[in-house]
Amino acid sequence: MNKQELLRFIQYGESRTIEFKTTFGKGAIEAVVAFANVKGGKIIIGMNDDKNVVGVQISGETKQQWINKIKSSTSPAVIPDIYSVDFDKKTVMIIDVKEYPIKPVSYKGRYYKRVQNSNHLMNAGEIMDARLYSLQLSWDAYEYPNETIDSLDYNKIGKFIKNINETGRLHSKESEITILQKLSFIKNNKPTSAAMLLFAKIPLRMNIRVGRFKDDITIIDDRQITDTLLEAVEDTVKFIKTYMQIAYMFDGSIKRIEKWDYPLAAIREAVINAVIHRNYAEPSDIQIKIYDNKIDIFSPGKLYGDLTLEKLKKKNYQSSLRNKLLAEAFYLTGNIEKYGTGFIRIEDELKSYPDVSFEFKEIANGMLATFNKSGEVNEGVSEGVNEGVNEVLAFIRDNPGKRIPQIEKEIGVPAKTIERWLKKLKDEGILEFKGSSKTGGYYIK
């Protein structure tokens, strides 16, 4: 670096790759570690936060002393390039740090990474992610502890294999276990974490919490979904649909056109993204909150690898997969088309919904996707009757005399939600209850 380059860095100020320090010490070594754990960077010693050159006093041994200090207090040991630049009769030292190939690097047992223009202490999940990513490993590909293949549900495995044969993305007539072994879902005759998440007889308690909120503290309805992942996605989308409005429009043809107030394919894509990219080492649940004018989808775990929000917005990113086997399972079953295109497909779906916007951001220890609705559904809406009510009505039409527990079991919606729908239909004079309270059931008038 020469004087002109240094002047340019001073003008731009601190950034993702530049840090200013007045002196060499603990803060400088933390910055070395933070840069080594991402894409590298430069620490300029002899600069203050106001971008003024204050210079630094050095001797013939200073460079080697700093290198030894950094080397002895980092693990794995980092050995940066250090050189001096003369600027207006003052000396500035540059510590040039390259990205370290095996991550994460620590300073006295603490791990840092560079985020924007500051150094952040990494949590346990981020440390594990960095390790797996740098070694090109996947958390879900490890054998799940203390389980055997007897822990897997062969009905779910059979359904999975049938689906992947139907999509044409895999054709095999081999045994179920052989196919799972070839796909790496079973290793050394033991299920991987991915296999347990997808096929366990007793689903792992990796919950999805879905709720209908009037405001941040008023919950109208909620449900905890604890199932294997392919089934959990379907149950989650089904629950969300019960609180989405649907409009019926006509274009002159005999068949009516249905339009949801949110793009259903985009909602489904966001739910699948939350499930695939979730950090399953985090104790938090996936949380979905449905409000009058927005839907929030929170997934534990920040962006993985070197993926950033800026890259997502520019659409020029390469997919970074925390859970490679889970992504493979959803790809093979046709739930996703190819890796790394989820947000592009969401934006494509939103093109026909000018009143719905989409946001995606990092919060706390996870990612929050939000669909915001600025307008109302088309005036052709069927008097506010949503798809959930129509589903109950159709079920009773085909199965007259059924009671709430039977309806709940068949359509997979909580009893209190069904009660609300039935009341609406009764109030509108569409349904009636016949018989005693213990043996009677619902009929269409």
In this predicted model, what pLDDT tens digit does every residue of 187-231 receive, in sequence order? 999 999 999 999 999 999 999 999 999 888 889 999 999 999 999
DSSP secondary structure string, 326-345? HHHHHHHTTSSSSTT-HHHH
Regarding predicted confidence, which is higher, 85 or 173? 85
Confidence of residue 380 (pLDDT cuts 50, 70, 90): very low
Give me the pLDDT at residue 381, please. 30
Which tokens go with 147?
A: 């389980």
Which is it for strands 208-213 and 81-87: parallel, antiparallel or unpaired? unpaired
Confidence of residue 102 (pLDDT cuts 50, 70, 90): confident
In this predicted model, what pLDDT tens digit does every residue of 224-237 receive, in sequence order? 999 999 999 999 99
In this predicted model, what pLDDT tens digit does every residue of 129-154 receive, in sequence order? 888 777 777 889 999 999 999 999 99
CA angle 377, 380, 386 (to 5 degrees): 65
Instruction: Supply the mean pLDDT for the chain.
Output: 87
Cα–Cα distance between 114 and 39 in angstroms, integer?
9
Domains of the chain as residue ranges with CATH: 3-122 (3.30.950.30), 139-199 (no CATH), 208-373 (3.30.565.60), 387-444 (1.10.10.10)
How confident is the model over 115-142, as a mean pLDDT?
A: 85
Give me the pLDDT at residue 421, please. 82
pLDDT for 383 beyond 50: no
Q: In what order do the strands lie in the sheet with 18-21?
A: 18-21, 41-45, 90-97, 81-87
Give me the pLDDT at residue 78, please. 94
Number of H helices, E strands in the chain: 15, 20
Which is it for strands 257-260 and 246-249: parallel, antiparallel or unpaired? antiparallel
248 near 258, Cβ under 8 Å?
A: yes
In this predicted model, what pLDDT tens digit does every residue of 4-37 receive, in sequence order? 788 888 888 889 999 999 999 999 999 999 999 9
In this predicted model, what pLDDT tens digit does every residue of 292-303 receive, in sequence order? 999 999 999 988
